[in-house]
Amino acid sequence: MKKIKILKVAMVAIGLLMQSAFSNAQTDTTSDKSIRPFQVHIPEEKLVDLKRRILATQWPEKEIVNDESQGVQLATMQALAQYWATDYDWRKIEQRLNALPQFVTNIDGVDIHFIHVRSKHKNALPVIITHGWPGSIIEQLKIIGPLTDPTAYGGKAEDAFDVVIPSIPGYGFSGKPTVTGWDPAHIAKAWIVLMNRLGYKKYVAQGGDWGNAISELMALQAPPELLGIHTNMAATVPANITKALQSGGPAPAGLSADEKNAYRQLDFFFKKGLAYAQEMGLRPQTLYGIADSPIGLAGWILDHDARSYELIARVFKGQSEGLTKDDILDNITLYWVTNTGVSSARLYWETVQTAKGGFFDPRHLTIPVAVSVFPDEIYAAPKNWAESAYPKLIHYNKLTKGGHFAAWEQPALFTQELRASFKSLR
């Protein structure tokens, strides 16, 4: 019974989602609706202090096992620290960000930062793309060019998108909420306001991780402008599977090969991969160490899911992967220079307060949904689960590469998926 109770708490802690606490998704109570240009300029002294802190790290002893079962391994962290302190250059990503149109607008009292790139092609389809944790807008930078300028990347003009990439409140360059209530449903409401404020009369939404939750809640709030959504981390787990996972027993009988694989992945994640979510969902303010120590922050971010960690560990051993050392440190450094380790964690706490279902439970969407399944995601949703969860499933595809940070790791495949997913909605 103790094991069952712990697992139930863990499932809540990853972000159990209310169906929708905001019946009027169109309401915007902010008086200042201006959209202001934004540029990134991190003071040099902050970067100098970052390097000083990395070099002054007090290291623990090496783990006493020969694998990652005790957590992020010392060798990986020390290789990351060495590169971060000596070779990494934040100014490169800062310059890259500042080459893009960035803006801030206030919604419900919080400044929302977003990238907004309009395509040069006529009839481009607007899409709002939402990151997750421990990601950021850094995740989506590689897909902006291919989506907005498809003819330069092997596509056709009719594949073009206008791209909007916001930073979730408490993340990156968005403001940090000073009151409670900014859960995924509230963020979904804010995204609808944002797209309306930008003048879009029809658009689609995309997301994985928190981005999936927010996109699905946008669909539940059902603004007439939202034509459909795409997800790379679908919420499709049937009730009998959830019940079996909670009981800690074997998988239900009669599952297909894809269903058995998904069950194994979910069982591993809920039993061994949720330490971060439990802490952030229940006690986020206790995480002072990730606000004070860059290595503490980096370790916390790396320990998200097993396959992503394994990829990152290989990168810092010098292997070539979908991500580079700079990719990984661009994202971690963004959290550091904005001091958003703790503020981002509060999204888990906010969600636990309003929880009415599991993060992967179907939400009974009634608008078109497209699903891309990357093999190294937390779980690979079987097609029959997706068909049951999304009655208007317009696209389903299993990819051969990619994991939790699909747009970041495999931007070419991800771009192809978005083009195919929304083709019928243009």
Residues noted as catalytic? 209, 348, 404
CA–CA separation, 365 and 108 (whole Å): 26
Task: Give the strands of the sheet with 369-373, arranged side by side.
Answer: 35-37, 102-107, 110-117, 161-166, 125-130, 203-207, 226-231, 369-373, 393-398
The position carrying tokens 């658009």 is 203
The set of residues, in sequence order, having a beta carbon less than 8 Å from that of 2 and lying 6+ positions away, is: none
Q: What are phi and psi of 95, to 5 degrees?
A: -65, -40
Q: Which residues contact 299 (CB under 8 A, 6 or more apart)?
A: 71, 72, 77
Q: Which residue has the tokens 């990439």?
A: 165
Coil, helix or strand for 245?
A: helix
Distance CA 273, CA 268 (A): 7
Q: What is the DSSP string of 190-243?
A: HHHHHHHHTT-SSEEEEESTHHHHHHHHHHHH--TTEEEEEESS-----HHHHH
Taking the C-alpha atoms of residue 146 and residue 6, their distance in angstroms, rounded to an integer, is 44
- CA dihedral in degrees (96, 374, 336, 83; nearest 10)? -80
3-class DSSP state of 25 = coil
Decide: residue 45, CB within 10 A, 0-12 exposed, 13-18 middle, 19+ buried.
exposed
- What is the C-alpha separation between 281 and 266, in angstroms, rounded? 19
Q: Quick check: helix, strand or coil at residue 180?
A: coil
Cα 404 to Cα 210: distance, rounded to the nearest angstrom: 11
CA separation for the pair 292, 176 (Å, rounded): 18
